[in-house]
A and B are shown apart, each in its own frame.
Chain A
Amino acid sequence: MDYDVVIVGGGHAGCEAASACARLGVDTLLITQREADLARMSCNPAIGGLAKGHLVKELDALGGIMGWVADRSSIQSRMLNRSKGPAVWSPRVQCDRELYTEGMRRLLGDTSGLDILEDEVADISLSNGAVNGVVTIQSGTINARKVVLCGGTFWNGVIYIGEWQKPAGRIGEDPAVGISDRLEKLGLRRIRLKTGTPPRLDGNTINFNMLERQDGEEEPIWFSSDPPVESLPQRPCFLTYTNEETHDILQGGLDRSPLYTGRIKGVGPRYCPSIEDKIVRFADKNRHQLFIEPEGLQEEEYYINGFATSLPEDVQLKALRTVPGLSDVKMNRPGYAVEYDVFPAEQLSLSLECRIINNLYLAGQINGTSGYEEAAVQGFIAGINAARSILGNDQIVLGRDQAYIGVLIEDLITKIPEEPYRMFTSRAEFRLLLRQDNARQRLLDVAQKIGLVSTRKQQSTKESIDNKDRIIKGLKSTSVLYNGVRMKSAELLKRPEIKLTDLVNFTDFPGEQREFIKIHSQSAFHAEVEIKYNGYLVRQQAQVESFRKMEQLLLPVVMDYESISALSAEARCELNRIRPETLGQASRIPGVRAADVSVLMVLLKKGW
């Protein structure tokens, strides 16, 4: 068998990679252990959320598929942070887990040029230091010009529940062994990370009357620019809390905890601690909030967000039963921790191609991230770059000034992986410009270059930009009477208390403009944001300009930093390890001090 690109792993990264490659016109094979588990939501049944919602919107703007599938399995949607400014609003949807997987399966199944193979990859085949295929257990060697690895938590995965442990990628699924060991033998650096998931609860055993109900928004919120005509029936989430009794029981199980007895060596995420971690580290807190989220339309199973744990099963159940509403609860499945192999992304270039082995791309959790969205965007970038290099096109690298995706990939490569990496809005230094609502507009040029977004959609994005400009121009050139004073509409709109929707209803607001604004509500919103936050946006744009100057200073990739005695010892070591592509990137490496950046700058000036 011969393919242009072989994708190994059918999780969120693998599915995006496979879809993108095939649609770009290269012969693509996706290899996964079980086709029925494609794009499986291994943890919480939700897509999006703070900063992650930005990633999904960007992915959609570039031609990815996650948002499209999520919209079609959404059973609740919310815009988080709505009380703050629009830059940090983030959409999140609760999904029906099975519908999500099915939707992805159907979408990939309908993609021409994409084959899906149920098999396990045990090794990669190489010639002259470059990958030229994969070796599978059942089908033998499959030749490929490019290979994209998306192993998730499967590489040497070990699952822990109390004193019980077992090699597994997810509970009930075998780990992938061999390929990770092979990569290490080929000279890649490998570390262990850990993550965890809470128990799944039987919906028939929860007393919902005891819980605080949380509904989504009436008006559905969509990720995709191509949403379904009708939304699915909506389902509520619920809120409850642990108490002192819960904590006592959890405390009593610590002596059998794989975390606290030191059996788990991998580092877990600080932002998503297990419940046992919470009661130990925040001992003075007498309760912790728990979200009970439906796993699907049928409401047969619930996910208990905030209760990730690897304590013994009996302790999990006993503790849960002290929580209001859960006194008779049954667990369909206990919570567990999983420890897995990660190849720190410093070994990749910004295109996600491996620097040590040619024709090899790595994406997703094996690069040290956590989260479906973080995985998906990497899969997409790795996929399009693998395809582009076959097609003879240059690699796509998004900048920190362009997209959260750019921030994520550069952070992964530049920063030391101390824990699984999750996206936060505060990681994006230009976040006022990188809103979730303007993803299509700001990424139009890149989307055009990639070519996965239809020309019709590109055209409509272009029109929306023109419409926004026209609305701004109109608001700047007309005036209205406000409290007896005549003011330019745009000036009035700058006041925090004045909204555009109110302004257009002023009796002296020009009727023609009013109509235009009402028809083009999305463009009108963009216009409003640009006017309201003009001072901030102009300043941030200026920062982007100076940022770009630093990004344009290219550092030689083969430079031996050890030979530059003027650099601090730590900087020499870190620069040699990470090999930044620009001076800007170098300046963001921890351990590279300001003086080191100045040294590099002086050297560049001296004619590097």
Chain B
Amino acid sequence: MEDVNINSLEDTIVALSTPRGRGAIAVVRLSGERSLEIASEIVENSEKLLEQQTHRIARARLLFENGQLLDDALYSLFLKPNSYTGENVVEFSIHCSPFIIANVIDRCCREGARPAEPGEFTQRAFLNGRIDLAQAEAVADLIASEGEAAHRAAISQKEGNLSRRIESIHDNLLETVALLETEIDFSDEDIPIVDKGELLGRMAIIREILVELRDTYQRGRMLREGVRVVIAGAANVGKSTLFNALLKEDRAIVHEQPGTTRDSVSARIEWGGVGIRLVDTAGLGDHLKGPDKAAVTKARAEVKQADLVLWVIDLSESDHELPPADIIDRMLLVGNKSDISVKCEIPSEFKHLMVSALKGTGLTKITDNVLNMLSLDSNSIEIGSDTLTRERHYRAVAEAVESVENAQSALQKERGTELIIADLWESAKHLSSIMGKMTADDVLNRIFGEFCIGK
């Protein structure tokens, strides 16, 4: 018999599962067959731990090897299979000191545990069938999510909402396939032929649901990755003032990147629970001297990548730079310096509003308008509880839509039933790739490569 290397899955693993850094409490998690055994070696009164009921918390004194007190802590016990990983899990809530954390992990390792690889807890949850691929990806999102809305979308996906929704569309598809198959494999039986209108109706419904789902992606992607809002316009219209004013409005600055005036400056902020990357750019416009070519190129690139552009003009000037045509459908025209006398008229075809960055007036209107334009206001987010947040899912759903459309057109043109079925099967296959059925291993590799979580 060939030697099978499955040791690493049988190992009991240990890692810090809260972020490194300052905080009151840190959690060290042990998962694997020997979790209890190992945990019992490092606590005082180990009998108590071994008799502990699952999903209960108890106080424990963690000891050094020589019996001295390491930390006065709590532990939680999750017995298999009802734990996160599907294995026996012990979690120690300890005081957050690098010294204590290092020693608790070290003690576990000396008793037979091994430090977990990045993402290994989630990988095990997946391998033990506790979560499917979509859920596993959602865990990664959950941990990486910065805005509240992204967090909500990830939670919803982790709960399996996306999988459930896809499964129900998948079922619908298979039901239609089954109807059509009877026409082929039982054509010599006395079975009424399925009505073409009914089939078209079924496919239309499936397509509609799929399209709706597909179209959540743009929003989902913005939730997951944050929205790029770029402030642009001619020089000296008050872009940087607006940038700073918007930052001041926001109390939850995540971090700020240093930059020179010639470079783009950006900051992560949160508006209405949505993560926003706000970017300030160098002035554009040919009639101005000043900014060098590199800065202008950079600014143009930022505008191109933006989900939304705040195009700033100076209301106190009679002449102003018009926004480039290609951004008009994702642009909000901001007339700045409304506190000074308004000397120009804003072209009415643009969605616009007036503010004074210096005085701080009209700024919340910017926030509301931006979220509304991107369908990211609280109403839209509530509806989109199952939002596609990953490109892989988006692609699969988009291709599923295409396959259903092929089936519709094949049916319209009265092409062979077997061809319509081939299209519907293809659609079903794209969908099932989201839930991890029929996974090609490159999908798996990509997903597990992305897990830098779970510690």
Contacts and interface: CB of A to CB of B under 8 A. Distances in A.
Interface of A: 49-51, 80-81, 84-85, 87-88, 271, 288-289, 424-426, 429, 431-432, 496, 533, 536, 539-540, 546, 549, 556, 558-559, 563-566, 568, 587, 593-599, 601-603, 605-608
B6 A603 contact: yes
A432 B422 contact: yes
B423 to A, nearest CB: 8
Nearest to B445: A605
Contact of A80 (B5, B10, B128, B187): B187
Given A80-B188, A565-B10, A608-B5, A595 B127 contact: yes
B415 A602 contact: no
Given A49-B188, A85-B417, 13 more contacts: A84-B416, A496-B413, A496-B414, A536-B422, A546-B440, A549-B440, A558-B1, A565-B10, A566-B128, A594-B439, A595-B126, A598-B126, A601-B439
Contacts of A533: 419
Interface string B128-143: 1100110000000000
Interface in B1-51: 1-2, 4-6, 8-10, 33
A45 to B, nearest CB: 15
A88 B5 contact: no
B426 A87 contact: no
A544 to B, nearest CB: 13
B418 A424 contact: no
A607 B188 CA distance: 51
Nearest to A607: B5
Contact of B415 (A85, A568, A598, A608): A85
B132 A81 contact: no
Contact of A85 (B9, B126, B418, B441): B418
Contacts of B414: 496
Interface stretch (B92-100, B317-325, B364-372, B430-438): B430-438
B129 A50 contact: no
Contacts, number: 117
B444 interface: yes
A598 B6 contact: no
B184 interface: yes
A536 B426 CA distance: 10
Q: Which 10 A-B pairs have the closest CB atoms?
A: A85-B416, A594-B437, A289-B190, A566-B127, A424-B185, A595-B129, A426-B181, A594-B436, A84-B416, A88-B184
Given A566-B128, A606-B6, A426 B441 contact: no
Given A594-B437, A602-B444, A425 B419 contact: no
A496 B1 contact: no
A431 B126 CA distance: 34
Is the interface on chain B under 10, 10 to 19, 20 to 34, or 35 or more residues?
Answer: 35 or more
5 contacts: A426-B421, A556-B1, A594-B133, A595-B128, A603-B4
B184 A496 contact: no
B248 to A, nearest CB: 49
A603 B7 CA distance: 10
B439 A598 contact: yes
Interface of B: 1-2, 4-6, 8-10, 33, 124, 126-129, 132-133, 181, 183-190, 413-419, 421-422, 425-426, 432, 435-441, 444
Given A88-B416, A496-B415, A533-B419, A595 B436 contact: yes
Contacts of B437: 594
B422 A540 contact: yes
A87 B416 contact: yes
Contact of B418 (A87, A556, A568): A87
B416 A50 contact: no
A138 B184 CA distance: 49
Contacts of A51: 185
Contacts of B444: 598, 601-602
Contacts of B124: 566
A539 B416 contact: no
Contacts of B413: 496
Contacts of A593: 129
A288 to B, nearest CB: 7
Nearest to B443: A598
A132 B189 CA distance: 47
Contact of A539 (B189, B190, B422): B422
Nearest to A593: B129
Contacts of A565: 9-10, 33
B28 to A, nearest CB: 23
A38 B188 CA distance: 29
B184 A84 contact: yes
Nearest to A431: B418
Most buried by A among B129, B183, B436: B129
A606 B4 CA distance: 9
Contacts of B432: 594
A587 B438 contact: yes
Given A566-B124, A593-B129, A605-B441, A50 B422 contact: no
A62 B339 CA distance: 90
Contact of A596 (B33, B129, B184): B129
Nearest to A285: B190
A81 B187 CA distance: 7
A260 to B, nearest CB: 23
A595 B417 CA distance: 33
A594 B188 contact: no
Contact of A598 (B127, B189, B190, B425): B127
B438 A594 contact: yes
Contacts of A431: 418
Given A540-B422, A565-B9, A426 B184 contact: yes
A597 B437 CA distance: 9
B411 to A, nearest CB: 12
A587 B441 CA distance: 13
Contacts of A595: 126-129, 132, 436
A331 B418 CA distance: 41
A408 to B, nearest CB: 14
Contacts of B33: 565
Contact of B184 (A81, A546, A559): A81
Nearest to B9: A566
